[in-house]
């Protein structure tokens, strides 16, 4: 895992997917799956199965593919299927592409994958989405209610 410094927390565990390795980081906002190595026809289904396992927890996911060495068309198709499944399940999932993925997203421009520039940016998207959801739910404290309470205490 040399050269990997984007998250800065201890790795709880690693999953070997026959040519790809998934490092799992559980954060307060969601789970970051950092994937290294190659995703091709030989292991795309295995990698997708592992991602689905974490999706079952119904917490936001960030797939960090920034250090992926190779992403074959089978791996890309798996990402598209996972994206559709997560969308249907209303599960937030964002991808952080690297050079291997950017090759394919340049060719397939209307892929619909939710891309972020970095893991911190993806986590910020989650935080913003959670904050927006809290402000739109009745009974949740939000900025408008907090301001009203503050004004009534001052007057």
Structural domain boundaries in the chain: 13-137
- In terms of CATH architecture, what is 13-137? 2-Layer Sandwich (3.30)
Q: Where are the beta strands (DSSP E) in 27-128?
A: 31-39, 61-64, 68-71, 93-96
The whole-model pTM stands at 0.78
User: Mean pLDDT, consecutive 10-residue segments, the chain of 155 residues?
Assistant: 45 87 91 97 98 94 97 96 96 96 90 95 89 63 41 36
Dihedrals φ, ψ of 107, to 5°? -80, -45
């Amino acid at each position: 895992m040399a050269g990997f410094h984007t998250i800065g927390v201890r790795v709880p565990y690693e999953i070997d997917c026959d040519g790809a390795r998934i490092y799992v980081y559980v954060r307060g906002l969601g789970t970051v799956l950092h994937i290294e190595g190659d995703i091709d026809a030989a292991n795309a289904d295995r990698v997708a199965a592992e991602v689905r396992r974490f999706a079952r927890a119904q917490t936001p996911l960030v797939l960090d593919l920034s250090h992926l060495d190779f992403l074959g068309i089978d791996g890309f198709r798996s990402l598209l299927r996972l994206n559709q499944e997560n969308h249907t399940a209303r599960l937030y999932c964002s991808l952080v592409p690297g050079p291997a993925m950017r090759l394919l997203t340049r060719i397939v421009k209307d892929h619909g994958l939710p891309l972020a520039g970095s893991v911190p940016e993806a986590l910020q998207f989650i935080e913003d989405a959670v904050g927006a959801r809290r402000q739109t739910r009745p009974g949740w404290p939000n900025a408008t209610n907090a301001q009203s309470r503050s004004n009534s205490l001052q007057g």
